[in-house]
Amino acid sequence: MAQTAHTNPFRFGALALDESFADRESEIAELANDIRNGQDVVVFAPRRYGKSSLVWSAARGLASERVMVAQVDLITTPTKERLAAALATTIYEQIASPLERAREKTLAPFRGLQIQPTITIDPADGSFAFSFGVGRKAADIDATLERLLELPAELGGAGDRHTALVMDEFQEIVDIDPDLPKLLRSVFQRQPEVAHVYLGSKRHIMERIFSDANEPFWRSAKQMELGTIDAEPFAAFIADRFRGTGRTVDEGTVGELLALTDGHPYATQEFAYFLWEQTPGGRKASSEHLRRALAAVLRSEHAHFGLLWESAATVQKLVLQALAREPGRPFTAEYRTRHNLPPATSVQKALRALEQREVVVGADGAYRIVEPFLAEWVEANVGAGSHH
């Protein structure tokens, strides 16, 4: 009998939406409640921990309650003009449009801006995009930004309709302009009915913004931390996905997979994706399939890791090789001797740089590589016997 062709049930890279989003039920419910209550929240988590997917899931659930969520990603807005354009576009699409059917009424709030945006219409889907020319006076662009930031509260009718503004990779705000946090905070503190959600991956910068008494955002938002996902719900999720697509996987193999990814959301989805690909239809995934899946993951990540490796300084490379072999305490004399590492001051400088790049993480002197699969890649490609 002909086998039914199934598509791979695991997703990595894009947002994990709907049923491909594993666990996080309690976090989704908590964030949805906070948005409903107009509570400002800061969500800390390393890159690829599913922050954006979490917000998307919460926002989707709130849409049925007529709560409107506008989202802007600061990675894509390196200048104040770009930030103004992204804000105008998302506020128009996510808040103004659902409220007003008539296009003229929808655009009315944007006509009162200090700098008039250029509005273009995409002929393919009729969507609008806003842009602001460069070379304007700083005071004018600041006034324009301030006005845009006031719109979610006004359009929501000062509490008639709940609105939220989500700012992804919020730590970039200080790079756009060091004075921007002050401007944002001055507007946001007058909007108790709007929930402001700040997502950030660079912990040291996010902590400074929200936990330093000299910063405008000091203690202004509830803090929420996304950790890895517990093994139990993730194991059930993986087994369920396999079963639903005509394959099976035993507990031992899932256990091996999760031991390697440590419950990292992106890495686990990626590894499970390749394990599913290596397992023939109607068969059970074995340790051999897992071994081949890991090799496929490392091939897929090779270009990314190669660049990361090439851009690392010599001492950073030595430290990474040591941590790939043995997570531990690189400052101690015994560890440095075992792994032929230079003096503690050099090791400390290397670790600080690697931490800022979010490649390693340390607490109380103990360090480990957090970039998923990097330790395995280092061992496979630049291990002791390699000439890279």
Rounded to a whole number, what is the distance in angstroms from the first to the last CA of the chain? 50
Q: How many CB atoms lie within 10 A of CB 288?
A: 10
Phi, psi of 187, rounded to the nearest 5 degrees: -80, -45
User: Is 13 a domain residue?
Assistant: no
Pair of tokens at residue 180: 């921007």
In the predicted model, what is the mean pLDDT of residues 163-188? Answer: 95
Element at 182 (helix H, strand E): helix 180-188
Domain CATH code at residue 125: 3.40.50.300
Least confident of 155-169, 347-361, 368-382: 155-169
Domain CATH code at residue 359: 1.10.10.10
Same domain for 213 and 85:
yes
Same domain for 283 and 205:
no
Which of 14-28, 89-103, 218-232, 303-317 is modeled with the greatest confidence?
303-317
Angle between helices 314-325 and 344-356 (to 10 degrees): 80
Same domain for 246 and 186:
no
- pLDDT tens by residue, 294-342: 999 999 999 999 999 999 999 999 999 999 999 999 999 999 999 999 9
User: Is 46 a domain residue?
Assistant: yes
Same domain for 290 and 166:
no
Same domain for 218 and 169:
yes
Same domain for 141 and 247:
no
Number of domains making up the chain: 3
> DSSP states of 250-300 as a string?
-HHHHHHHHHHHTT-HHHHHHHHHHHHHHSPTTSEE-HHHHHHHHHHHHHH
Domain boundary among 302, 333, 352: 302
Domain boundary among 200, 225, 250: 225
Residue 26 has pLDDT above 70, yes or no: yes
Amino acid 350: pLDDT:
97
- pLDDT tens by residue, 249-275: 999 999 999 999 988 888 999 999 999
User: Is 19 a domain residue?
Assistant: no
Amino acid 15: pLDDT:
57
Residue 141 has pLDDT above 80, yes or no: yes
Tell me which residue range forms the domain holding 285.
231-302
Q: How far is CA 84 from CA 40, 148, 154, 313, 364, in A?
A: 21, 7, 17, 38, 42
Nearest one of 193, 206, 203 to 156, comparing CA atoms: 193
User: Is 7 a domain residue?
Assistant: no
- 40 Cβ contact list (under 8 Å, min separation 6): 188, 195, 196, 197, 198, 220, 221, 222
* % of the chain beyond a pLDDT of 70: 94
Residue 385 has pLDDT above 60, yes or no: no
Element at 315 (helix H, strand E): helix 314-325
Angle between helices 374-382 and 314-325 (to 10 degrees): 110
In the predicted model, what is the mean pLDDT of residues 72-82? Answer: 95
- 270 Cβ contact list (under 8 Å, min separation 6): 10, 12, 297, 300, 372
* % of the chain beyond a pLDDT of 90: 66
CB-based contact 213:1 (threshold 8 Å)? no
